[in-house]
Structure formats: C-alpha cells, structure tokens
C-alpha cells in the first residue's frame, strides 16, 4: 500500500516538474532559513545555562551621580564584592574579574592573548568551569595561573602541563596550576588564561570607585535578590559609606543586581563579552517564520490552483468507492512526502551554509549541532506539522468534493476559492514589502552612521597598541616614528577616540554653587587634538608647558593641570565655550584650568548621546600610539614603522590596526542586522514572485480559450497582458497599503534605539511599492505574453 502510494505520488510530481520545483524550492528555502535561525536563537537563549549556580549568581551594576545627572556602568570598584560579603549574610561569595591583553610565551612560542582574565580564588566554586587537571587551590598561590585546554595544546601540544611555566609580558614567569575545560561559546565569561585577581596592583586597596572591574555575587537564595538590592542601596547611603566614597550633598552611589541569565540578552551594559539583544532574537524569529509562511502559502496556493487538473482522478476514485478519509490521506500524504524531501534538502543546505552563517552572526555553530538528536527530533516534528498544515486545507477541499458536482459541471475549485488564494497572495506580498522597507531603512541608518561627521577624522589613522612597561622608550620611539616619510601626525592616548571607557568625577563651581557629575577622560600626549583633526571652538591646544612634569608646584605639593573639555561638558556646567576658558575644575582630586573647548565628537556608539569629556596631557597613561598617514604607499610606511619599532622595543612584536576597524566594530550588530534583512527580504520577494509565477501559469492555462476568443475579437498584446496581470497587480497594491504602516511602526521603533538617527522618509514606501509592482508585472507578463502569442485556432479547436 505504502509502496503504491509513493509510486503514484512520485509519478505525479515528476509529471508536473515545474510546480514540483517551485514547491520544493520554496519549502527548502523556508525550512533551511528556520533551521539556521533556530540554531542561532537556541544558542543565544542558552547563554550560561550550563552554570550549576546560574540562578543564584548576579552581576553588580553601579549607578552614581546626583539626581538628573547620573551614570550607570557594569564596572565596580574593588570594594563592593568583599564588603557586601562581610555585611550581608545573603551573599555567600563574590568573584571580581578583570580582562586584559597579555603577551604569553613558552619556549620559542609567543602570542598576544586577548582572553587573559584575573579572577578571585572562589572562581571554580561559584562558576561551573570544569578543572581537567591540577588543584583548584593553586589559583590562590602567587604567580600561578590556570590555562584552557585549547591553550595547553597551542603552547605545549599536550594537556599534561601542570607545573610548567609561561612567561607573561616577557618579564614575569607564571606556573601552570591547572588545566580548565574550554568555556562554551555561549558563556559571558570567556578565557584562555586565569590568574589570581590579587596579582593586580589595584587589588591591594579596597575602593568604592576606581571602577574598572566586573563583580559577581553568589547568593544563598535567589528569591532574596530584590530585598538584598534595597538593603545594599540603603547601606551605601549611610554616612560611613558616603564618606569613604567621597560623596557630597545629594550625590549617591547605588547598585543593581542583574541575574546572570538575563545579562547577555537583556542588559544595557557591556561586560566581559559583548552582549546580545532580545530584540535581535525577536527579529530573527519573525523573519524565519515569515519566510516559512511565504513558502507554505506558495504550496497551499499552487495546490488549490492545480486542483482543477485532478477532477478526473477524484471522480474515478469516488466511483470506485474511495471514502473521504482515504482521499484526505492521499492528498495530505503527498504534502508530507513533499515536505520530507524538502526537509532533507534543507538539512543539506543548512550544513553547507553553516560556515557562512557563522561568519555572518559571529557564532561558532557546527554541523554536529544540527545532527544531534536533540535538534533533529524537533526539526522533523516541526516539518511534519508544517507539511500537514500546508496540505490540510487543499486535502480537505479535494476530498470533500461531491461526485455529483464533478459529473454535473466539472470541478471548478479554483473559481470558487479565489478569495482564499487572493488572501494568501496579499499576505505573501505584505511580508515581502515589510522586509524590503525595513531593509531600506536599516541600510539608510547605517549609511548615515558611516557618513556622519564624528567630530574627528577617522580615515588613515593607524593605531599601535602600547604597553606601560615600555614607557622608558616612548618619547624616543614617538620622535623616530614621527620623522618617517608618510607619517603626518603622531600622538599617544589612553584609548582610541571611538570608545572611551575611562570615567571620573568632575566638580567645579559655576557661579551658582558647586556642581559635580561623571565625565569621560582621555589622558593623552600633546598633538592629540591635531592628529585626530578635532576642531577647537575656543582656547588653544595643549603645549609642552601643559605636561604634568612642567606645571608649577602648588603649596600643597600638587600641580594644577591643563584641561580641554568638549561643548557638552561646558554646557552641563552652565558655561559657554568662551566662559569656560581659564576656569578651574577638579577631576578625581586633581585641580586643573580649562585651556580649550573642543567641538563635540562621538566617543561611543551613536546609540548614546554625546556626553561630557575631558582631555588632559599625561604621557604616563599611554596605551596606544595614533598616527595619521598619507603621501606614501601604505606598505612602505608599515615596513618603516616595523623596523623603527624593533630598534626601540625588540622584545615585543609590532602590532597595528586602523581606527576605521574600531569604528566598524561599534556597529557589528547593526551591520549583521542589515545583512540579514537584505538576505531574507530578497528571499521573501523571490519566493513570493515564484509563487506568483506558478499561479499566473495556471491562470493562463485556465483562460486559454478566453484569450483566444478575445484575440479573434481584436484584442492586442497589451490588452491580453492587462487581462492576466490586472487581478494580481491589484493584490500587490493592497499589500502595499497594508505593509506600509506596519513597516513604518517597526522601523521607527528600531530607530528609537539610536540617539542620532534618520527620520523614516515617506518616499521609501512608494519606491518599494513601485519596485514590487514592476517585479510582479514582469513575473505575470511572461505567461501573458506567451498566451498572447499563441494561435487562437489551437486554443479554440476543442470548443
């Protein structure tokens, strides 16, 4: 029985090659899209699920400032973790983290390692990172570290490395105390090397601020988290804590407890690893489902439209005694068989596209993630449900046809169910237009970001990472590099201007009383403003006299520094740029005089409004060299810079990148979103047009005789094309009317996430509509032109 069913179904599918191809292609595209998107979503939703204590771990987020002018960051000082453990019995343990890039060497191997973290000794009792070998207590030993399995293989070719030595930053030897299992890709804590937090000089003193660390707490009971947060914030407002934190007046310091499992998708604050976004999850889920809906509607629509061709088959089966249930099983079975074939192809396509998908999303998904039973079972179950639902209505319609109807007037299902088919077509094009309009708006916003005036010139700026251990060679190296052909300007700074993380408190008196607020800081060398091509709107740039060592010593042995602030800082204080010049402000207990005011520039992503920033001369905090290049071929300049570097710093490799790369990294998520929308909106419109192509073919065949009669009566080519196209184009126009407000609402909400954004331009909607109408007309006209070119005698000879 089953064999006979498969044979008959295969014959019919082969006999109707064109429609079989359209259906299989549509379902394959839809299913493979859902498989890949499903893998991504499952990976994101599974972040940190492997942590045994995950529901008891929270991350501290610090908020500080005064009412109306506060800042919130995921960094904390060194004090909150140990102090909260001492003060609150709800806190069982704490772990502080810091992450750095270190040079790591073993024998003749030496690499820059960006996954080098420092953590408190309870790391392995709080977090579930399996120790493959070694003693967990050795992390507390001075100059000991843990190493990941992949790093052990990388440096030693074996995991039997406990007791061996690694040289860190060319100067300090660490003994390997244990080998840890590589952390899963969906962990917010990634590492290759783990050293004790106590090895950091800053760990020696507990400080409420000095906020450069990530602190996690292990609670005894997660239900106590809300009450604990209230108790902590009441505690930080006590006079003792305010005095320790040097809070004045109405200034405050408070903490929020973020559950570990909500950090990656829901937190607005970056941590050890870049956060994801639950909005991205919703967007991808919607896109995958919409693509699948388009494919399923294609199948349903084409099956209904083709039903007239099965009139004889249904009549004969009913005459021979076939029951409705048998006919339903036949037609539903055909749908399931077609879906199964499409699913096999979709799995093959998904595996083949997985490397490209990983590159697009930044994931590390493997073929085994698809082929494991936990993934295949839901995929096959979902495919079965899709196949049944997509074929259920046509099967019910075909199996429910009465024999008397077939014998009396023939089966005219297509004519009696045009409302359903038209609805499905409209929905398909609503989905396609929604994705197209959204894609256009996203691409416009990305173009706006790329072309917006940042307040500095990021082009042709080379960034060379620099270590504080090499400060003795800094001045000589800077002078030597600055004199090379092709180097137009050179300076140094604590960070690149695309992303400034250093935060301090600024205080001053604006004439109406004291004022204090958080400010981002850039300790930099001279020539920073000129190298970055920033615009001074008042005052002057820093000079040699403004270096700390050249400033006069005050009576209290301090030195009054020189500061450059931006427009926002001056405005927040209540000064105009000209009024700010010569005024005294205080940064972290250091007094300084405002020498200049620079035009606002973007030192974070455009999701955030430009905040106050302070630039001051300090070559003791240089972490990178910034060189503006030009006038000489780039390879020659790089070769000269590398040779010069080796003359002064032979022990460290020469590394560099361009400032453009740092800028682009700020918008990786948006760039991926734009690529995803472009890809899937293209797929959606192609699938919709493919379905329209098939429906137009069926409609043309069913109206062959009508077209022949109209030609005999004098209809020309244009009349025939309009006859076939009119109803389809009307449905597309209705789809435009429905899709436009939906797309406007969705894109406007997405744009609200940017402090600097474009408006949703009205011309996008008619332009997208015209494009889709033109594409739909071209799709339908192919069959219309073929029908119009036929000899009327052939189409009428059977009448």
The half-sphere exposure of 733 on its side-chain side, counting CA atoms within 13 A, is 7
**How large is the greatest C-alpha to C-alpha distance in the chain, in angstroms?**
114
Q: Residue 140 and residue 195: Cα distance in Å, rounded?
A: 9
Could you tell me which of 156, 2, 10, 16 has the C-alpha nearest to residue 701?
16
Q: Residue 779 has what pLDDT? A: 77
> Is the pLDDT score of 53 beyond 50?
yes
> Is the pLDDT score of 69 beyond 70?
no
Beta bridge partners of 491: 626
DSSP state of 494: S
The single residue listed with the structure tokens 């005694």 is: 321
- pLDDT, mean of residues 262-280: 84
- Collect all residues with Cβ–Cβ distance below 8 Å to 608 and sequence separation of at least 6: 755
Please answer whether residues 532 and 490 qualify as being in contact, where contact means their C-beta atoms are separated by less than 8 angstroms. Answer: no
Helix ranges (H only) for 627-716 are 634-648, 659-665, 668-702, 704-712
**3-state class (DSSP) for residue 661:** helix
Q: Of 230-244, 392-406, 716-730, which one has max mean pLDDT? A: 230-244
Q: Residue 486 has what pLDDT? A: 92
Instruction: Give the residue, 57 or 778, on which the prediction is more confident.
Output: 57
β-strand pairing of 590-598 with 214-219: unpaired
Confidence of residue 318 (pLDDT cuts 50, 70, 90): low
Lowest mean pLDDT among 351-355, 609-613, 777-781, 784-788: 784-788
Helix (H) or strand (E) holding 354: helix 324-361
> Is the pLDDT score of 531 beyond 90?
yes
Could you tell me which of 170, 174, 115, 175 has the C-alpha nearest to residue 148?
115
Confidence of residue 21 (pLDDT cuts 50, 70, 90): confident
Instruction: Give the residue, 313 or 281, on which the prediction is more confident.
Output: 281
- pLDDT, mean of residues 62-71: 76
Please answer whether residues 595 and 562 qualify as being in contact, where contact means their C-beta atoms are separated by less than 8 angstroms. Answer: yes
Instruction: Give the residue, 535 or 170, on which the prediction is more confident.
Output: 535
β-strand pairing of 172-180 with 252-259: unpaired
Q: Is 358 exposed, middle or buried (0-12, 13-18, 19+ CB in 10 A)?
A: middle
Instruction: Give the residue, 624 or 290, on which the prediction is more confident.
Output: 624
Confidence of residue 564 (pLDDT cuts 50, 70, 90): very high
- pLDDT, mean of residues 236-245: 89
The half-sphere exposure of 396 on its side-chain side, counting CA atoms within 13 A, is 6
> What secondary structure does DSSP assign to 225-249, as a single string?
HHHHHHHHHHHTTSHHHHHHTT--T
Q: Mean pLDDT across the chain, nearest whole number?
A: 84
What are 507-529's pLDDT values in tens digits?
Answer: 888 888 888 888 889 999 999 99
Helix (H) or strand (E) holding 783: helix 764-788
Confidence of residue 96 (pLDDT cuts 50, 70, 90): very high
Helix ranges (H only) for 245-323 are 260-266, 278-305, 311-319
Let me know the angle formed at the C-alpha of 226 by 221 and 232, rounded to the nearest 5 degrees: 95
Percent of the chain with pLDDT over 70: 88
- Collect all residues with Cβ–Cβ distance below 8 Å to 418 and sequence separation of at least 6: none
Q: Residue 728 and residue 737: Cα distance in Å, rounded?
A: 15
Q: Residue 373 and residue 418: Cα distance in Å, rounded?
A: 42
Q: Residue 414 and residue 398: Cα distance in Å, rounded?
A: 11
> Is the pLDDT score of 293 beyond 60?
yes
End-to-end CA gap in the chain: 40
What are 603-634's pLDDT values in tens digits?
Answer: 888 888 898 999 999 888 888 999 999 888 89
DSSP state of 137: G
**3-state class (DSSP) for residue 363:** coil
> What secondary structure does DSSP assign to 603-623, as a single string?
-S-TTS----EEEEE-GGG--
This prediction's pTM: 0.76
Q: Residue 411 has what pLDDT? A: 44
> Is the pLDDT score of 217 beyond 90?
yes
> What secondary structure does DSSP assign to 272-289, as a single string?
SS----HHHHHHHHHHHH
Q: Residue 413 has what pLDDT? A: 44
**3-state class (DSSP) for residue 394:** helix
Confidence of residue 398 (pLDDT cuts 50, 70, 90): low
- pLDDT, mean of residues 254-269: 91
Percent of the chain with pLDDT over 90: 34
Q: Residue 799 has what pLDDT? A: 46
- pLDDT, mean of residues 54-73: 84
Helices (H) and strands (E) in the chain, counts: 27, 22
Torsion sign (Cα): 13, 14, 16, 19: positive
Q: Residue 394 has what pLDDT? A: 66
Please answer whether residues 786 and 717 qualify as being in contact, where contact means their C-beta atoms are separated by less than 8 angstroms. Answer: no
Rounded to the nearest 10 degrees, the angle between the axes of helix 324-361 and helix 668-702 is: 150
Residue 45 tokens, joined: 């939703």
Q: Residue 71 has what pLDDT? A: 76
Let me know the angle formed at the C-alpha of 458 by 455 and 459, rounded to the nearest 5 degrees: 135
Q: Residue 174 has what pLDDT? A: 93
Q: Residue 8 and residue 430: Cα distance in Å, rounded?
A: 36
Helix ranges (H only) for 713-763 are 717-751
> Is the pLDDT score of 343 beyond 70?
yes
């Amino acid at each position: 029985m089953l064999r006979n069913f498969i044979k008959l179904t295969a014959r019919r599918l082969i006999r109707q090659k064109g429609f079989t191809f359209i259906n299989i292609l549509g379902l394959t595209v839809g299913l493979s899209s859902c498989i890949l998107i499903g893998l991504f979503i499952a990976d994101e939703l599974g972040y940190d699920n492997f942590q045994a204590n995950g529901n008891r771990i929270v991350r501290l987020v610090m908020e500080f400032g005064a009412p109306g002018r506060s800042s919130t960051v995921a960094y904390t000082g060194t004090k909150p973790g140990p102090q909260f453990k001492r003060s609150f019995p709800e806190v069982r343990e704490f772990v502080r983290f810091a992450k750095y890039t270190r040079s790591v060497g073993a024998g003749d191997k030496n690499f820059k390692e960006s996954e080098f973290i420092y953590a408190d000794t309870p790391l392995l009792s709080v977090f579930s990172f399996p120790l493959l070998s070694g003693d967990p207590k050795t992390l507390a030993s001075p100059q000991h570290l843990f190493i990941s399995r992949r790093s052990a293989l990388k440096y030693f070719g074996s995991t039997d490395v406990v007791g061996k030595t690694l040289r860190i930053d060319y100067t300090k030897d660490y003994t390997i105390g244990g080998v840890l299992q590589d952390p899963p890709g969906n962990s917010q804590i990634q590492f290759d090397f783990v050293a004790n937090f106590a090895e950091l000089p800053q760990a020696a003193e507990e400080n409420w601020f000095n906020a450069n660390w990530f602190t996690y707490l292990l609670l005894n009971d997660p239900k106590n988290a809300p009450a604990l947060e209230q108790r902590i914030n009441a505690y930080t407002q006590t006079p003792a804590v305010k005095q320790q934190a040097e809070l004045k007046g109405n200034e405050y310091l408070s903490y929020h407890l973020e559950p570990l499992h909500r950090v990656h998708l829901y937190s607005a604050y970056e941590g050890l690893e870049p956060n994801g976004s639950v909005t991205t999850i919703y967007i991808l889920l919607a896109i995958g489902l919409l693509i699948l809906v388009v494919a399923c509607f294609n199948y349903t629509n084409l099956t209904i439209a083709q039903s007239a061709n099965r009139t004889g088959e249904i009549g004969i089966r009913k005459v021979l005694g076939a029951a409705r249930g048998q006919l339903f099983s036949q037609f539903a079975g055909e749908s399931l068989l077609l879906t199964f074939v499409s699913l096999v192809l979709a799995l093959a396509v998904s595996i083949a596209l997985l490397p490209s998908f990983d590159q697009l999303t930044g994931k590390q998904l493997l073929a085994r993630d698809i082929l494991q039973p936990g993934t295949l079972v839901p995929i096959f179950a979902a495919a079965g449900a899709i196949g049944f639902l997509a074929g259920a209505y046509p099967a019910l319609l075909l199996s429910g046809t009465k024999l008397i109807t077939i014998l009396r007037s023939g089966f005219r299902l297509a004519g009696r169910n045009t409302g359903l088919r038209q609805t499905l077509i409209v929905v398909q094009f609503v989905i396609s237009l929604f994705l197209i309009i959204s894609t256009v708006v996203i691409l416009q916003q990305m173009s706006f970001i790329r072309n917006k005036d940042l307040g500095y010139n990021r082009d042709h700026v080379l960034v060379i990472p620099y270590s504080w251990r090499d400060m003795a060679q800094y001045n000589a190296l800077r002078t030597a590099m600055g004199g090379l052909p092709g180097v137009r300007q050179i300076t140094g700074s604590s960070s690149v201007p695309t992303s400034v993380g250093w935060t301090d408190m600024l205080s001053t008196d604006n004439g109406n009383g004291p004022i204090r607020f958080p400010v981002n800081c850039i300790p930099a060398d001279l020539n920073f403003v000129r190298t970055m091509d920033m615009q001074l709107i008042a005052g002057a740039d820093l000079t040699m006299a403004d270096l700390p060592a050249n400033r006069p010593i005050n009576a209290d042995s301090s030195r009054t520094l020189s500061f450059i602030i931006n427009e926002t800082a001056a405005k927040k204080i209540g000064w105009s740029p000209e009024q700010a010049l010569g005024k005294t402000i205080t940064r972290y207990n250091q007094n300084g005089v405002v020498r200049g005011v620079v035009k606002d520039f973007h030192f974070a992503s455009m999701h955030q409004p430009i905040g106050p920033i302070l630039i001051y001369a300090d070559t003791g905090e240089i972490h990178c060299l910034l060189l503006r290049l030009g006038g000489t071929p780039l390879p020659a300049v790089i070769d000269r810079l590398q040779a010069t570097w080796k003359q002064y710093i032979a022990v460290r490799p020469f590394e560099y990148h361009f400032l453009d790369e740092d800028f682009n990294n700020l918008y990786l998520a948006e760039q991926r979103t734009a690529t995803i929308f472009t890809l899937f909106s293209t797929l959606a419109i192609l699938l919709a047009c493919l379905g329209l192509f098939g429906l137009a073919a069926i409609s043309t065949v069913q109206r062959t005789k009508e077209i022949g009669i109209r030609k005999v009566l004098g209809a020309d080519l244009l009349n025939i094309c309009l006859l076939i196209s009119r109803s389809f184009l009307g449905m597309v126009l209705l789809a435009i009317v429905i899709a436009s407000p939906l797309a406007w609402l969705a894109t406007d909400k997405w744009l609200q996430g940017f402090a600097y954004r474009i408006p949703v331009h009205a011309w996008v909607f008619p332009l997208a509509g015209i494009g889709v109408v033109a594409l739909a007309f071209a799709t339908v006209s192919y069959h219309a032109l073929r029908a119009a070119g036929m000899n009327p005698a052939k189409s009428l000879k059977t009448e």
